[in-house]
Amino acid sequence: MKLPDRTVYAQAEPGAGPSARTPKIGLALGAGAARGWAHIGVLRTLEAAGIRADVIAGTSAGAVIGGCHAAGKLPELEEFARSLTRRRVFSLMDLTFSGSGLVAGGRLQSRLEAALGATRIEELPVEFASVATEMSTGHEIWLTKGVLANAIRASYALPGIFEPVKINGRWLFDGALVNPVPVSVCRAREAGFVIAVNINSELRRPAGERGVISEEAIAEDALDAYSEEAGNRNTSLSGFLPTLRGRQGLFRRQFAAPPDGPPGIATAMVDAFNITQDRIIRSRLAGDPPDVAINIKMGQIGMFDFHRAAEMIELGRAATRRMLPEIQDLIGPNP
């Protein structure tokens, strides 16, 4: 099979002849909340096969994984992902009703900044773009310059869940509203061969799951998390009990739901967002298809199952292995 006529070639090594040229490879990493951990397995498998992207475009979870990979921080991110438990996930959620999201995001921001520091996108060894959406206008924003951590935060700021991020005078939130699998960004950056990774190819909630987080998990994890917080501050747990009970109740109202009742507000918001995102993905990929699509089916893994990273990474590996023969055939011999 031949590459399409639009193929753009990466710069060959000095002295190399035309036969040594390789297509400029773009990698479009899609949105999908916790399911984004599967991107780690994809990147690991491609690297092991000697396939390295010249351009990486990521939306939401794809921006997190793609940005960390571009900055050389994928091993640290994978270690963090594999270390997560339900309790640790809960402890990272700094709930607030003082802003425009349920989660302020300060704790996640601190972790990003600690890992990436002041690294700027322009300094990365590969081209990188993070996709976000501008509030009020709905414009699709490609963040290709500036502080990497800020660009990533803007891309995953799910409306109603995370507070939006202000960059260059614009309030930005989740890019999945406009371009969930950013193939078009790779094309615009002159990638002649684009691999798209869709981690939202199935719209199924795990069997028996009624909410984003179960009420039992909320009660158990809240107690564990805040008991640990009290110990870290050398404070009596009794001093935290009013806060603990308040936050347990808050999480129950927003994230859980009775078996026979309607879903909680967070579940309703996320489900509505997923349906919209699915329709956008279908439309965008039909209009600008990738050269190869890696579709990862994770119907039994919830959008907020961040503690199941090991499973998702393996699913990413398996899906990529299945597509490797086609990718290698289209790209040709590794340089």
* CA distance readout (Å), 142 to 128, 146, 154, 186: 10, 11, 11, 11
Active-site position among 54, 130, 155, 174? 174
Distance CA 150, CA 109 (A): 8
Q: What residues pair up with 198 in beta bridges, in sequence order?
A: 295
192 neighbors 8 (Cβ within 8 angstroms)? yes
Q: Which of 54, 60, 201, 288 is catalytic?
A: 60
Q: Which of 333, 64, 30 is nearest to 201 (CA)?
A: 30
**Dihedrals phi, psi of 232, to nearest 5 degrees:** -65, -30
Q: Which of 212, 204, 186, 203 is nearest to 282 (CA)?
A: 203
Q: How far, rounded to the nearest angstrom, does the alpha carbon of residue 22 sit from its chain's CA centroid?
A: 28
Active-site annotation holds for 60: yes
Q: Are strands 127-134 and 140-143 parallel, antiparallel or unpaired?
A: antiparallel
Q: Which residues are catalytic?
A: 60, 174
